[in-house]
Structure 1
Amino acid sequence: MHKVTPNSPETPSTSPYASNDSKKLHDAAERALDHYFKPPFDKGNLPDKRPSNIFAVIPDLDNETLLAHASETLASLNVLASDLAFELEGTRRHVALAIQQMVSLGELLVNRALDSFDQPEER
């Protein structure tokens, strides 16, 4: 049987990244396309670098109130860390228990400072 169309020439499949020169040319082409077709950089889209004041402590609060809220926060954190520790295993559990212990120590210190407010002043 006779074939009507000739065989196509065999060409090795080459990648544009096969040689260092083609890689450099491709990189240069990408930089040129980015230079001409990329939208200009808009500094207005950058996030604001100023610190946020979402949470603030009222400046004229007395120390007893501050310590009471710190104690409640540490007590909540103590429970959270304890609950988390019992859901973990291995070294992660040990880390969570260490955090829970440090929170407990901080809570004891704050509560001790609060106890000094409960005692009547000596004259």
Structure 2
Amino acid sequence: MIKPTPNPPEHEATSPYESLDSKKLHEAAERALDHHFGTAPDKPSKSRKGALFIVAPDLHTETLLANASEDLLSISAIAADLADGVEGSRRSVALALSRMADGVHLLVERALDHIDSSTPEEHRAKA
């Protein structure tokens, strides 16, 4: 009778890491899993508490405000364009969004003006 499985090893305490190749394969697999799941020792995992996007912590206030200003202009333009394509209450909502973005844009521009008018020492203290 032909046996479909091989005989068990003679020693029960046979380790899968007895050969050098097997140990190297295991270490490589561990490194690959650590890298894939972000638990590599050189990159400690940080809990961002659900935040999908983060802002680089070393950006200057002026850079952040300038980008916010541009984004607000884009939001306003998109909402105004949308208002042209719809009617009734949807148009009112789109126009309200456009006007709100315009108002916040003015606030950001005022903040940028304050940064531009401050002395270099004050500017460094705010950044």
After TM superposition, the score normalised by the length of structure 2 is 0.52
Q: What amino acid maps onto 1:72 in structure 2?
A: E
TM superposition shift of 1:116: 1.2
1:85 to 80, 83, 86: 83
Matched, 1:67 2:65: yes
Q: What amino acid maps onto 2:113 in structure 1?
A: D
TM superposition shift of 1:120: 4.8
Q: What amino acid maps onto 2:115 in structure 1?
A: F
The answer for unaligned runs of 5 or more in structure 1 is 1-49
Q: Report the Cα distance in structure 2 between the residues aligned to 1:113 and 1:120, rounded to whole angstroms.
A: 11
Counting matched residue pairs gives 73
The answer for unaligned runs of 5 or more in structure 2 is 1-48, 122-127
Q: Report the Cα distance in structure 1 between the residues aligned to 2:82 and 2:120, rounded to whole angstroms.
A: 44
Q: Report the Cα distance in structure 2 between the residues aligned to 1:99 and 1:60, rounded to whole angstroms.
A: 31
Q: Report the Cα distance in structure 1 between the residues aligned to 2:116 and 2:51, rounded to whole angstroms.
A: 36
Q: Percent identity?
A: 49
Give the RMSD, CA atoms, in angstroms.
Answer: 2.0
TM superposition shift of 1:52: 5.2
Q: What amino acid maps onto 1:116 in structure 2?
A: H
User: What is the aligned partner in structure 2 of residue 98 from structure 1?
Assistant: 96
Runs of at least 4 residues off by over 3 Å: none
Structure 2 matches for 1:1-123, cutoff 5 A?
A: 51=50, 53=52, 55-121=53-119
TM superposition shift of 1:121: 2.0
